[in-house]
Amino acid sequence: MFVIDLDKAHAMKTTAFKNLTLVLPRVSIPDLSELLSSLHGQRLSAQNPMVRFMGEHLKALWQNVPDMSASEAAGMLNGSLGLMESWLSHDGRLVADSTPDVSVALGKSIKQHIERHLSEPMTPQKLVKQFRISRSQIYRIFAPYGGVARYIWERRMIRSRYMLTKSAFNHITVGSVGYACGFLSESHFSRTFKSRFGVSPSEVRLTEQDANVMERDLCDRGPLFPSWISELPKNSSISIQP
């Protein structure tokens, strides 16, 4: 079973195949649409018995609809959608195929979500629930980074260092930088930052500010070397001793 949210960008490359497509209008079934949208681009594994059951159920509905009246067909469709919504709301075993393309696309979506929510409490469990995938799948995706928690931790470290070294954030206190990157206290942020980079957040900010002051000072003085040359007497010479 393959799920596509037509509101989201997607591209597919296929060979000759046969399929049964069920297109659902979002406006008429908002709750079910939200559940399906979280599965965008995923191929649900037939190892899950509910995936097999829903597939067979939809095929049976398609085969028998021509013999139904309009009211019978409407009733069966509403019942089928209710069944699907109940399944998706309670089934924690949905596992997308771990094909490289699906895993890469899913990993990219999760990383983008992490970047947008670094200031918020975030755990692997919350991501599993948000993207409706298994724990084993999310751990496989983030295994190259040392795991999900390690990836989130590292992104928070990099974000905080960026904020501390950019003058655009100079008006924000060190503690506020920590809070903006998901740390619950300034002391915890400072300890964690120093363990990662070997210096405290305050030292990084101070060093950067000193560098900015020096750069501005040099700019204010103008080009020193050319002015020095222009002040030499016309008949002077420069001797270079090897």
The last residue of a domain, from among 90, 116, 144: 90
Domain boundary among 90, 111, 145: 90
In percent, the amount of the chain with pLDDT more than 90 equals: 36
CA–CA separation, 187 vs 171, rounded Å? 19
Q: Do 215 and 111 sit in the same domain of this protein?
A: yes
Q: What is the pLDDT of residues 62-118, one digit of tens each?
A: 899 899 998 998 888 888 888 888 887 766 555 444 455 556 778 888 999 999 999
Give how many domains the chain has, as a whole number: 2
In a domain, 224, yes or no: no
Query: By percentage, how much of the chain surpasses pLDDT 70?
Result: 79
Give the separation between CA 199 and CA 116, rounded to whole angstroms: 26
Mean pLDDT over each residue of the chain, to the nearest integer? 80
Between 141 and 40, residue with greater pLDDT? 141
- Higher-scoring residue by pLDDT: 40, 193: 193
pLDDT digits (tens, 9 = 90+) for 199-223: 999 999 988 765 554 445 545 555 5
CATH code for position 141: 1.10.10.60
Same domain (yes/no): 129, 40: no
Domain that holds residue 52: 26-90
Does any domain span residue 229? no
CA distance linking residue 67 with residue 153, whole number of Å: 58
Residues 222, 216: Cα–Cα separation, whole Å: 10
The residues, ordered by sequence, that sit 6+ positions from 130 with a Cβ below 8 Å of its Cβ are: 38, 113
What per-residue confidence (pLDDT) applies to 82?
87
Q: Is residue 232 part of a domain?
A: no
